[in-house]
Structure 1
């Protein structure tokens, strides 16, 4: 079985993981007790987001996580991730402008994923 680092060989996936980790680290520094490294909760979230990104069914053809239609997280974790992303969106532009510019460029790429089917109830 491949590890997370082996699976994240594609440069775009590596960039997205770096951006996610940077946002979570910034959020942890601002909102939690930060002692040179992220707290246990944020570390677990970083590992989970890296694992979800690495083993995404769409692989390198997926859109950025912000524009993806797949449901990867439980509702509680999804709310936590959205909170961190909303908080860090503008801050990451100031802290890592090149990484954010590349992420924005990546998000312009049209999705190769199939459209989700709507259920007729």
Structure 2
């Protein structure tokens, strides 16, 4: 059985993966597979999530006090999130609601 931190890591990876996949499909015209550029970004994001020292207390990476992404990758992930974020509710409504609930739960726990 997973503990709450492990579930949060799994959820964070799922959310960023779906956002990158949506961006890649719409901007790069890919099908189910990511293009090389988006696959690289996803692998980088997964690594950063795995290594995050603040995963227990943070809600979103953008709200974190430490920005661990390199400037280039931070720019790339911001571009993906700006595009995919508003569209996620149309393509993955359950994931969006779950993400909101997890965020609220984590805020409540550490406030």
Q: Which structure dedicates a bigger proportion of its chain to helix?
A: 2
| 1:75 matches 2:77 | no
Alignment length (residue pairs): 104
Shift of 1:61: 3.0
8 Å contact kept, 2:21–2:34: yes
Shift of 1:107: 2.6
Shift of 1:51: 0.5
Partner residue in 2 for 1:23? 19
- Give the TM-score normalised by structure 1: 0.75
1-structure distance, mates of 2:93, 2:64: 22
Partner residue in 2 for 1:48? 44
Shift of 1:33: 4.1
- Give the TM-score normalised by structure 2: 0.81
Q: Which runs of 5+ in 2 are unaligned?
A: none
Q: Which runs of 5+ in 1 are unaligned?
A: 1-8, 113-121
Tell which deviates more after alignment, 22-31 or 60-69.
Answer: 60-69
Task: Give RMSD over aligned pairs.
Answer: 1.9
8 Å contact kept, 1:67–1:107: no
Residues 44-102 of structure 1, C-alpha deviation per residue, up to 9 Å, x if partnerless? 10010011001111243333223222111111211110111011112111111121112
Partner residue in 2 for 1:116? none
Shift of 1:26: 0.6
